[in-house]
């Protein structure tokens, strides 16, 4: 059996054990001393643990979290108030227009009835027409009083408010919410302007010939386009006809381009045409083209 000397300097004793901690051979005396030194470290460990416990007891992790939650709550309330105020203003515009139209219709009806009374020879047909018109006004008045005259579509980020008989844009399904309809009329410069849908690519066809079949020889038009990717809404307005000329058309009646929704976070914006001489370019083999540099260009069968 091999005998080792104690590895501690100046110790002449033989080694009795292999100290795993030191990875060396030591005698019993120095082994016991080493064990005591190692165990003394436990007191320092205990002190450090107690210090950490005391420190942990003073922690209040809820404060920063609650502060963030409170900031979030305040911001959400601010956004809700902003949306609500905006919707109230939009709704007031629509309601004022609706009531004004209703009052105008009643005033005209009263004038017609007074005229019939003054003439004193109303026909049965005139009487019947008057009765039907009064009944229409009566039904409309009842509709004003029903709760479902309004409808709200509420989601996490926005709220759309519509009217039971909203008729700013008629002629079939529209891509535009009430908010966008009001915004386009704001761009146009007439809040109560009414529009009729004359062409819808998904319904009438995407080809250039389809576009010109429905849109040539029409009056002022709004072109509303929905992108295939993202469903973003944009377009343009011109007072001129889209009948093909193969040249630029001068539109002196405030033509413009617009964006309603886009991937860049730009709010609904109107872009007036800088040079009216190059407002639109009606071309047989293309859809609508706005601007000298083809700022808005729809090719044949664009499918957007």
Which ranges of the chain does DSSP label H, i.e. alpha helix?
28-58, 62-119, 124-145, 178-188, 201-204, 208-215
**Which residues, listed in sequence order, are joined to residue 271 by a DSSP beta bridge?**
257
Helix (H/G/I), strand (E/B), else coil: 280:
strand
Which of 119-123, 137-141, 180-184, 300-304 shows the lowest mean pLDDT across its residues?
300-304
What pLDDT score was predicted for residue 165?
47
Percent of the chain at pLDDT > 90 equals: 33
Q: Residues 56-75: pLDDT tens digits?
A: 888 777 788 888 889 999 99
Q: Let me know: does 26 contact 4? Beta carbons within 8 Å.
A: no
pLDDT score at 292: 87
Lowest mean pLDDT among 28-32, 120-124, 202-206: 28-32
pLDDT reading at 253 higher than 90: yes
Using N-to-C axis directions, what is the helix angle for 62-119 and 124-145, rounded to 10°? 160
**What pLDDT, on a 0 to 100 scale, did the predictor assign at position 164?**
46
* pLDDT for residue 160: 55
pLDDT tens string 99-149: 888 888 899 989 989 998 998 888 888 988 988 888 888 888 877 777 666
Distances (CA, A) of 84 to 149, 156, 160, 186, 250: 18, 13, 10, 19, 41
């Amino acid at each position: 059996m091999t005998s080792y000397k104690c590895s501690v300097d100046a110790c002449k004793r033989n080694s009795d054990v292999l100290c795993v901690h030191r990875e060396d051979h030591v005698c019993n005396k120095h082994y016991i001393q080493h064990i005591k030194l190692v165990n003394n470290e436990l007191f320092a460990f205990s002190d450090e643990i107690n210090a950490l416990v005391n420190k942990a007891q003073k922690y209040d992790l809820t404060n920063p979290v609650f502060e963030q939650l409170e900031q979030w709550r305040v911001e959400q309330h601010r956004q809700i108030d902003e949306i609500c105020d905006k919707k109230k203003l939009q709704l007031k515009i629509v309601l004022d227009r609706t009531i004004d139209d209703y009052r105008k219709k009643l005033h005209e009806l009263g004038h017609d009835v007074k005229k019939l009374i003054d003439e004193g020879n109303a026909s049965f047909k005139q009487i019947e027409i008057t009765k039907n018109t009064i009944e229409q006004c009566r039904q409309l008045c009842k509709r004003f009083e029903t709760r479902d005259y309004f409808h709200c579509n509420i989601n996490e980020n926005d709220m759309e408010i519509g009217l039971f008989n909203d008729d700013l844009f008629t002629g079939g399904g529209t891509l535009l919410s009430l908010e966008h309809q009001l915004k386009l009329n704001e761009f146009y410069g007439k809040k109560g302007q009414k529009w009729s849908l004359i062409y819808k690519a998904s319904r009438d066809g995407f080809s250039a010939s389809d576009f010109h079949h429905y849109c040539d020889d029409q009056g002022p038009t709004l072109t509303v386009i929905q992108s295939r990717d993202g469903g973003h809404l944009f377009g343009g307005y011109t007072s001129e006809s889209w009948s093909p000329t193969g040249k630029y058309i001068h539109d002196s009646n405030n033509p413009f381009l617009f964006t309603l929704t886009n991937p860049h976070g730009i709010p609904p914006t109107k872009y007036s045409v800088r040079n009216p001489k190059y407002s639109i370019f009606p071309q047989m083999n293309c859809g609508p083209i706005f601007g000298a540099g083809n700022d808005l260009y729809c090719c044949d069968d664009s499918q957007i």
